[in-house]
Chain A
Amino acid sequence: MTSVPTGPIDPLIQARGLTKRFPAITAVDAIDFDVAPGESFGFLGPNGAGKTSTMRMIGCVSPITAGSLRVFGLDPTADGPRIRARLGVVPQSDTLDLELTVRENLVIYGRYFDLSRGEAGRRAGELLEFVQLAERSGDKVEPLSGGMRRRLTIARALINEPDLLLLDEPTTGLDPQARHLLWERLYRLKQRGVTLVLTTHYMDEAEQLCDRLVIMDKARIVAEGSPRELIERYATREVLELRFSEADREALGTGPGADPADRVASGDDRAAPGESRHDGRGDGRLDERFAGLAERVEALPDRILLYTADGEAAAVAVHERGLLPESVLVRRSSLEDVFLRLTGRTLVD
């Protein structure tokens, strides 16, 4: 482990104006961030936001196009092997060696890191226990379930006792049991002082694992902070979700046919209450019906979201205005609300 210095702690990763351009696109566009030792840091963003490109540059398997990047204070361009010797990498899609057994995968990976055969074997045994795969150690990789492969990939990434673990969408495609087991294992690593850097588009994962995170959208960082800070800054404490009958939605002008641009209205800048239902403009009607009830109102094809500090009070006020939703749900707002607000609801493939 890195010893803790007495002065200000040097960042484990430091990026300034970090840029990655491919012939057709700019994948990462001049981003700045620091990751401190022992921290658990997340990159959130929709597909194509530049998360994986950033991870690959940190992992020294993708040369940077512009800007500067330091990992452990070293330059990936010049010191790739020295940096990689201290990294553990869990790539987005598993790259396990299908021609080897579970245990051999770990042992040979240890050999790539210059461990002696004895040491690699000893660590392989421990890690198989750690990820609960000891009884599969002699099996080939092929028949393992997705969750088992993921656990094996994480075990493999730990064979060199890395100071920094890079996890690119560690739990995508896993069932809830497998995800929770992985989270618990990652939490234990964090307790041991391993720095975690992960990408995800699962908000619950980010809230579970990240001390601090950045939200990326279209190759840039659009927000940065702890999960709680981001929720406070970009969302309200609670969200009131209302579902209306088909007929009521038509009347409100928020049916599936409505123009999405008309669906978001802010209560702050248009406070005038009114009753004119038939002006033919969706946003106008929406505004008027919910004006003053919430900080922000968002109409989705199937429901209306009211962002407010007090969901219960807003629900009561909705009823007082004579609106009768089919169902009412009050929930705490989550990172997902922040994420959708900042990166939009348009589907990205």
Chain B
Amino acid sequence: MGSLLRIAPLPFVAAPRAGRLVERNILVYRRIWLVLVSGFFEPLFYLLGIGFGIGSLVGTVPGLEGQALSYAAFVAPAMMASSAMNGAIYDSTFNVFFKLNYDKVYDAVLATPLGPADVAVGEVAWALMRGSLYAVGFLSVMIALGLVSSPWAVLALPAAMLVGFTFAALGMAATSFMRTVQDFDLIFLVTLPLFLFSGTFYPLSAYPPELQLAVQLTPLYHGVDLIRGLTTGALGPGLLVDAAYLAALGLVGLAIVSRRLEKLLLK
């Protein structure tokens, strides 16, 4: 935690104008809002196909506190976490890559009083907003379909924002190391297994112990665990660990982004 406290203030204290970048992105997406909608449907289709379709064969699964849970109610919070991840990843990888390397958006921005930390925080904030937007939509669908069984589910929204933040920061950090468009294949190579294996479609207990440990190191696992705990009402100190882990990873990512931008653009 000590080293975290040293790097964490950098992006936050040094980024008073980060909101301007968000404003810029809102201007852009005001015209192409349809692009935003697509990210909402993917997890919804998975919920319908697997949660309800496969779920009709599965029946119930044990919830986090041992209570019987319909399979759809088990899968839905995982899809919500995934949609937050996807929304954040879309923006912080492809879009950032083109703004950084082709459109030279950040070169223009850095000629103003804004600095690299403002750009880092601004872009991550926008990406997490996009992820949160999907989470709001998805949570509404879950409520409508009767897949929410606890009032704690209202906290699933900030939890999804946290997931968005973590993946936005990590995605942008990874993007800052990419040289060609082909490198983006690596992103899929990471996000697809995360989506499939992070306790999304079956509980962690399905894995042998040593694999369980590996899964517990992935950020999406903690996102799924956190949101599932809140929507099913299975609260415990483990949820705080989830949140802390996600926040820590996000801050590390943000610090990396800020330094990388400085190295790449302020030569």
Q: Which residues of A are at the interface with B, using a C-beta cutoff of 8 A?
A: 22, 59, 61-63, 80-82, 84-85, 87, 89, 91, 93, 95-100, 104, 108-109, 111-114, 156, 160
CA distance A82 to B114 in the complex (A): 10
Query: Which residues does chain A contribute within 8 Å of B111, judged by CB atoms?
Result: 59, 61, 84, 87, 89, 91, 95
Check if B115 sits within 8 Å of A96, measured CB to CB: no
CA distance A98 to B95 in the complex (A): 13
Query: Which residues does chain A contribute within 8 Å of B27, judged by CB atoms?
Result: 100, 104, 108
Query: Which residues does chain B contribute within 8 Å of A93, judged by CB atoms?
Result: 104
Query: Which residues does chain B contribute within 8 Å of A97, judged by CB atoms?
Result: 24, 103, 105, 108
Check if A112 sits within 8 Å of B115, measured CB to CB: no
Nearest CB of chain A from residue B99's CB, rounded to whole Å = 8
Nearest CB of chain A from residue B139's CB, rounded to whole Å = 30
Contact with B113, one of A22, A84, A91 (Cβ below 8 angstroms): A84
- In the complex with contacts A97-B24, A100-B27, A112-B17 CB distance below 8 A: yes
Q: Which residues of B are at the interface with A, using a C-beta cutoff of 8 A?
A: 17, 20, 23-24, 27-28, 103-105, 107-115, 265-267
Q: Taking chain A's interface residues, is the majority helix, strand, or loop, or is none over half, making it mixed?
A: loop
Which interface residue of A82, A97, A99 has the most chain B CB atoms within 10 A? Answer: A99
Query: Which residues does chain B contribute within 8 Å of A91, judged by CB atoms?
Result: 107-108, 111
Query: Which residues does chain B contribute within 8 Å of A87, judged by CB atoms?
Result: 111
CA distance A87 to B112 in the complex (A): 8
Query: Which residues does chain B contribute within 8 Å of A81, judged by CB atoms?
Result: 113-115
CA distance A114 to B113 in the complex (A): 9
- In the complex with contacts A62-B267, A100-B28, A104-B27, A114-B108 CB distance below 8 A: no
Contact with B112, one of A22, A96, A99, A112 (Cβ below 8 angstroms): A112
Which interface residue of B20, B108, B115 has the most chain A CB atoms within 10 A? Answer: B108
Q: List 15 A-B contacts (CB under 8 A).
A: A61-B265, A80-B115, A81-B115, A82-B113, A84-B112, A84-B113, A91-B107, A91-B108, A93-B104, A95-B104, A95-B108, A95-B111, A97-B103, A99-B28, A100-B27
CA distance A55 to B232 in the complex (A): 59
Check if B108 sits within 8 Å of A111, measured CB to CB: no
Closest residue of chain A to B95 (Cβ to Cβ) is A99
Check if B17 sits within 8 Å of A114, measured CB to CB: yes
Query: Which residues does chain A contribute within 8 Å of B114, judged by CB atoms?
Result: 81, 112
CA distance A244 to B107 in the complex (A): 51
Check if A112 sits within 8 Å of B28, measured CB to CB: no
CA distance A307 to B265 in the complex (A): 46
Check if B113 sits within 8 Å of A98, measured CB to CB: no
Nearest CB of chain A from residue B258's CB, rounded to whole Å = 15
Nearest CB of chain A from residue B36's CB, rounded to whole Å = 14
Closest residue of chain A to B23 (Cβ to Cβ) is A111
Query: Which residues does chain A contribute within 8 Å of B108, judged by CB atoms?
Result: 91, 95-97, 109, 156
CA distance A95 to B112 in the complex (A): 13
Closest residue of chain B to A98 (Cβ to Cβ) is B103
Closest residue of chain B to A97 (Cβ to Cβ) is B105
Check if A95 sits within 8 Å of B107, measured CB to CB: yes
Extra inter-chain contacts (11) besides given A95-B104, A111-B20, CB under 8 Å: A61-B111, A61-B265, A62-B266, A81-B115, A82-B113, A91-B107, A95-B108, A108-B20, A113-B112, A113-B113, A114-B113
CA distance A157 to B75 in the complex (A): 52
Nearest CB of chain A from residue B28's CB, rounded to whole Å = 5
Which interface residue of B24, B28, B109 has the most chain A CB atoms within 10 A? Answer: B24
Query: Which residues does chain B contribute within 8 Å of A113, judged by CB atoms?
Result: 112-113
Contact with B266, one of A61, A89, A109 (Cβ below 8 angstroms): A61
- In the complex with contacts A59-B111, A61-B111, A114-B113, A108-B103 CB distance below 8 A: no
Query: Which residues does chain A contribute within 8 Å of B105, judged by CB atoms?
Result: 95, 97, 99
CA distance A295 to B20 in the complex (A): 61
Query: Which residues does chain A contribute within 8 Å of B267, judged by CB atoms?
Result: 22, 62
CA distance A112 to B16 in the complex (A): 11
Query: Which residues does chain B contribute within 8 Å of A82, judged by CB atoms?
Result: 113
Query: Which residues does chain B contribute within 8 Å of A109, judged by CB atoms?
Result: 108, 112
CA distance A112 to B110 in the complex (A): 9
Check if A112 sits within 8 Å of B103, measured CB to CB: no
Which interface residue of B28, B105, B113 has the most chain A CB atoms within 10 A? Answer: B113
Query: Which residues does chain B contribute within 8 Å of A63, judged by CB atoms?
Result: 266
Query: Which residues does chain A contribute within 8 Å of B266, judged by CB atoms?
Result: 61-63
Closest residue of chain A to B26 (Cβ to Cβ) is A108
Nearest CB of chain B from residue A278's CB, rounded to whole Å = 58
Query: Which residues does chain B contribute within 8 Å of A104, judged by CB atoms?
Result: 27
- In the complex with contacts A62-B266, A104-B27, A112-B107 CB distance below 8 A: no
Check if A99 sits within 8 Å of B103, measured CB to CB: yes
